[in-house]
């Protein structure tokens, strides 16, 4: 059934857990129709859907799609157009990490890191923009990392992809400003998610000691910033906004 446009619509990629889940819940609590997305963690995605539907006046749609695959993104947006109509806010959150020496990185791993973390932003933004441009209204918010600004040892591909998001954000914001579409990026520091669960207790403690705020951030803090950006003045565009506890 087609969703009426009485509710604004947000698409959150990679929303089965962590930051994506928190953002989806933040928008659902504020009466957005939320489109959830992931490619593999379908049980977790269904759990997020249940959480949303337990909220008052809530609605959501689940879309299984690997956003690193251009053809799958095209198919997902065709489905969204039929079932949900236009997207008012696009949150490009899907991403993966890898820690290892640059000299040990294979071609396949490099390609997967770039496709998932950077190309997905291109594919989803390209698919949603025709509708936004025709309406002269829309927000694109990319979830990135402080490593896209300063780089991280043993995370060369991840840093390169996130740096690419920052450049794309600034360029696209300039291109779309005449159409009243704002493009901004949140550069996350150490956030308490499954992505950072690979750290040993000793590594985690050492990182916390380097953070002026003396702790990891929470997914809910990132979600709150994403909500604020989605409702920021139209003159705010092309910005890379750090949420890192003062780390950089």
User: Which tens digit of pLDDT belongs to each residue from 31-81?
Assistant: 999 999 999 988 999 999 999 999 999 999 999 999 999 999 999 999 999
Q: How does strand 9-12 pair with strand 59-64?
A: unpaired
Tokens of 206: 């050492």
How many Cβ atoms from other residues are within 10 Å of residue 60's Cβ? 25
In a domain, 97, yes or no: yes
Q: How many domains does the chain have?
A: 1
125 found inside a domain:
yes
180: left (phi over 0), alpha (psi -120 to 50) or beta: left
Look up the pTM and report it. 0.95
**What confidence score (pLDDT) does residue 4 get?**
47
Q: Which residues are catalytic?
A: 158
2 pLDDT more than 70 = no
Where do the H-state alpha helices sit in 30-178? Answer: 42-53, 70-83, 107-114, 120-135, 147-150, 156-176
Please indicate, yes or no, if residue 98 is contained in any of the structural domains.
yes
The model's pLDDT over 82-107, given as tens digits with 9 standing for 90+, comes to: 999 999 999 999 999 999 999 999 99
Whole-angstrom Cα distance, residue 31 to residue 141? Answer: 18
4 falls within a domain: no
Portion of the chain with pLDDT greater than 90, in percent: 90
Domain presence at residue 3: no
- Alpha-carbon distance of 111 to 107, in angstroms, equals 6
- Indicate which CATH number applies to the domain containing 75: 3.40.50.720
> So what's the pLDDT on residue 197?
77
Confidence of residue 199 (pLDDT cuts 50, 70, 90): confident
d(CA 37, CA 157): 24
pLDDT of residue 194: 81
Tell me which residue range forms the domain holding 56. 9-243
């Amino acid at each position: 059934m087609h969703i009426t446009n009485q509710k604004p619509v947000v698409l959150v990629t990679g929303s089965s857990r962590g930051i994506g889940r928190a953002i989806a819940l933040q928008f659902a609590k504020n009466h957005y129709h939320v489109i959830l997305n992931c490619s593999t963690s379908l049980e977790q995605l269904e759990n997020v859907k249940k959480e949303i539907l337990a909220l008052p006046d809530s609605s959501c749609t689940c879309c299984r799609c690997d956003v690193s695959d251009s053809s799958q993104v095209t198919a997902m947006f065709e489905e969204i157009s039929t079932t949900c109509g236009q997207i008012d806010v696009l949150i490009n959150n899907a991403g993966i990490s890898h820690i290892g020496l640059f000299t040990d990185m294979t071609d396949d791993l490099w390609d997967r890191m770039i496709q998932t973390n950077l190309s997905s932003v291109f594919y989803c933004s390209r698919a949603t923009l025709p509708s936004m441009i025709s309406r002269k209204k829309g927000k694109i918010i990319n979830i990135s990392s402080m490593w896209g600004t300063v780089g991280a040892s043993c995370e060369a591909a991840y840093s390169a992809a996130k740096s690419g998001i920052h450049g794309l954000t600034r360029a696209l914001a300039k291109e779309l400003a005449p159409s009243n579409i704002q493009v901004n990026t949140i550069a996350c520091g150490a956030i308490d998610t499954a992505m950072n669960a690979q750290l040993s207790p000793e590594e985690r403690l050492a990182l916390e000691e380097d953070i002026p705020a003396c702790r990891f951030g929470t997914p809910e803090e990132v979600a709150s910033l994403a909500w604020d950006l989605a409702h920021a003045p139209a003159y705010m565009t092309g910005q890379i906004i750090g949420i890192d506890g003062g780390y950089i």
